[in-house]
Structure 1
Amino acid sequence: MGIVSREAINQLRALMDQAEEPLQITFKNVHQGYLTETLERFLKARECNAAKAHKMLIDCLNWRVQNEIDNILSKPIVPTDLYRSVRDSQLIGLSGYSKEGLPVFAIGVGLSTFDKASVHYYVQSHIQINEYRDRVVLPSASKKYGRPITTCVKVLDMTGLKLSALSQIKLLTIISSIDDLNYPEKTNTYYIVNAPYIFSACWKVVKPLLQERTRRKVQVLPGCGRDELLKIMDYASLPHFCKREGSGSSQHSQNGTENCFSLGHPFHQHLYNYIKEQSVIREQPIKQGSFHVSFPEPPEQEKEIAKTIESELHKFGNGNGISGSLDNVKISDY
């Protein structure tokens, strides 16, 4: 649903005006001065139903208060070696901006292993990037381009996607649920590149399960997607794995400033330094151990999608005679 009526926005705004003070405080961190655009996002996520959008937003704000999300950018992942391990196994970065000024986030789906730390560290890292995007990157882009910029585009690299991805479904479902419930409609378009057959097989069965507004956002591009992506961004903003066929999303690169997954890339340097500075400003003691966040119960649709992917990967594995490695991994184990 692309257009939200002024009436629905006014209804939701009136309901939010009645929220208690602790929720009003964290709400300011959510909307960053772009109140109308934020109300529109939650309305879109609930088919423009003001009452449902209000419940979703209040639930989101309660989650933020209960889990101290407003302080998560002052909680560095330490020691540095652990943070490096998280970054090397959870491949994400900011490669540049679209011609419309939207941040371009690159995600190495296929080569992210999520096996160097506990699930809590990966959730903490993911939320920190979300919050840094919303509180620093997007406001900065809005100022630079002179208009509200409250969404981004994501380029998902499927290089290296294997049957072992089944072991990641639990974590990915948690992260997806956190995004769906607390950061709705933050992504304008998802571009899928370097997709192997295993992705195509899963996408064929998952696509019908998605809501129409989500399906419209997903574009599967041929090859590395370079030619199509150059229509919406300059060459300099292309993720490194889109600049030439077969480049892939390796987390290691001789040129750390080009590979947006690298700790040497400006985005990660700025993010790392920002979190350290915030811990000093807020006088937060730096201690080892993850910042635990409560995981929301995945919506029924998320559960169905996860089970469908699991089933499809099992079938794919059986067809290739390698099902043994998958036998002990089930959604219900988590």
Structure 2
Amino acid sequence: MAPASASALPPGVTDPNYSPPPGRLGNLTVLQQHALDKIRKELQDEGAFVPERMDDAALLRFLRARKFDVPKAKAMLLSAEQWRKDVGVDELVRTFEFKEKEEVDKYYPQYYHKIDKDGRPVYIERLGKLDIKALYAITSLDRLQKRLICEYERSLDTRMPAASRAVGHPVETFCTIMDLDGVSLSNFVRVKDYVLEAASIGQNRYPEIMGRFYIINAPWMFSTVWSIIKPWLDEVTVSKIDIVGYSYKDKLLAQIPAENVPKEFGGLCECHGGCSLSDAGPWKDEEDEKHEKKQEEEQAEAPVEDGAPPPE
């Protein structure tokens, strides 16, 4: 193997113990660095380079997804860009409101909740609680897909950067928990289209952001469900999936601090109003801090009426 190149670490690395994984900034072989330089230059020369979405870390995600084969990685990236235009992702992010979030949470909980020991945002999906009839009475497949896209975009723009700042090193992947407790084959078949479309969007439009994936409480019929899903996933995605079954607590707690794991999964967290609606994590902490600072600034700038005591 060619020796690692002297590619610079990304800015903002404060963790002295951080060691970049292979194929990431700070740990590229000479050939990998060459591939990165080549795809960047080709995109720039062709007028297809989008600076806000194509920094080196993003380009490397597509390169890793295609084993640093530049033509294949570029084709994948350009296909994703065309998909963004076809779907209208930028406009969707600006205008889409998922007002039915609290109601949907009752019948199909899907949520981000704090970070694991490596700093990854934890994403939890409780497929076993799915109630198809109730779910489609308050939302639609189209709206669920739009929500999914908006959550991916928010994760790249907000959650991962906030997690990176919190732990002092780049965070580029999620830790996912898929809970199948109570899932039925009939329910899965009815929501299969959404699950497969979600998997397709994840691996083809937002590649290389799955870090760890735990499937827990898998019932006896899961082999049938898995046989339906597995052919739709690439081999890299499949290799990251850990099917744990019902004895999952120790494995989850080995990867995620107990205080970050919801109590129903063997952890200690009990967010006010429920973990599934809290969006708790470094990203929420930063939002709350900005909100408090803005309130303080507005209070300080507010005119003081005659005779009224100044604000404390």
Give the alignment's TM-score, normalised by structure 1: 0.67
CA gap 1:226/1:184 in 2 versus in 1, 3 angstroms? same
Residue aligning to 1:174? 197
- Code of the residue aligned with 1:56 in structure 2: it is M
Unaligned runs of 5+ in 2: 1-21, 292-312
Task: Give the deviation of 1:65 after TM superposition.
Answer: 2.9
Q: Quick check: 1:92–1:260 contact (8 Å CA) kept in 2?
A: no
Q: Quick check: 2:262–2:275 contact (8 Å CA) kept in 1?
A: yes
Residue aligning to 2:226? 203
The answer to whether structure 1 residue 231 and structure 2 residue 254 are counterparts is yes
Residue aligning to 2:105? 87
Distance 2:113 2:58 in 1: 25
CA displacement 1:227-274 (0-9 Å, x = unmatched): 012112210122443217xxxxxxxxxx5537432x35547x959x99
Give the 5 Å matches for 1:122-161: 122-161=144-183
Q: Quick check: 2:214–2:241 contact (8 Å CA) kept in 1?
A: yes
What RMSD over aligned residues (CA atoms) do the two structures have, in Å? 3.1
Give the alignment's TM-score, normalised by structure 2: 0.71
Task: Give the deviation of 1:88 after TM superposition.
Answer: 3.1
CA displacement 1:112-149 (0-9 Å, x = unmatched): 34423121110111111111111100011112222211
Which of 51, 55, 70 is the matching residue for 1:50? 70
- Higher mean alpha-carbon deviation, 37-46 vs 148-157, is at 37-46
How many residues align structurally?
A: 254
The answer to whether structure 1 residue 16 and structure 2 residue 39 are counterparts is no
CA displacement 1:58-92 (0-9 Å, x = unmatched): 111122234331233332436x4x33333333321
CA gap 1:49/1:145 in 2 versus in 1, 3 angstroms? same
Give the 5 Å matches for 1:1-334: 3=23, 5-20=32-47, 24-25=49-50, 28=52, 30-31=53-54, 35-77=55-97, 80=99, 82-112=100-130, 113=132, 114-115=135-136, 116-164=138-186, 165-203=188-226, 207=230, 210-223=233-246, 225-243=248-266, 257=272, 259-261=274-276, 263-264=277-278, 266=280
Q: Quick check: 2:178–2:215 contact (8 Å CA) kept in 1?
A: yes
Residue aligning to 1:328? none
CA gap 1:258/1:243 in 2 versus in 1, 3 angstroms? farther
Distance 1:205 1:168 in 2: 12
- Code of the residue aligned with 1:121 in structure 2: it is R
CA gap 1:206/1:264 in 2 versus in 1, 3 angstroms? closer
CA gap 1:258/1:237 in 2 versus in 1, 3 angstroms? farther
Paired-residue identity, %: 23
Secondary structure of 2:275's partner?
coil
Q: Quick check: 1:119–1:171 contact (8 Å CA) kept in 2?
A: yes
Give the number of the structure whose alpha-carbon radius of gyration is greater: 2
Q: Quick check: 1:107–1:157 contact (8 Å CA) kept in 2?
A: yes
CA gap 1:154/1:264 in 2 versus in 1, 3 angstroms? closer
CA gap 1:75/1:224 in 2 versus in 1, 3 angstroms? farther
CA gap 1:54/1:264 in 2 versus in 1, 3 angstroms? closer
Distance 2:232 2:104 in 1: 31
CA displacement 1:11-37 (0-9 Å, x = unmatched): 2222222343xx544x51x35xxx222
Task: Give the deviation of 1:53 after TM superposition.
Answer: 0.7
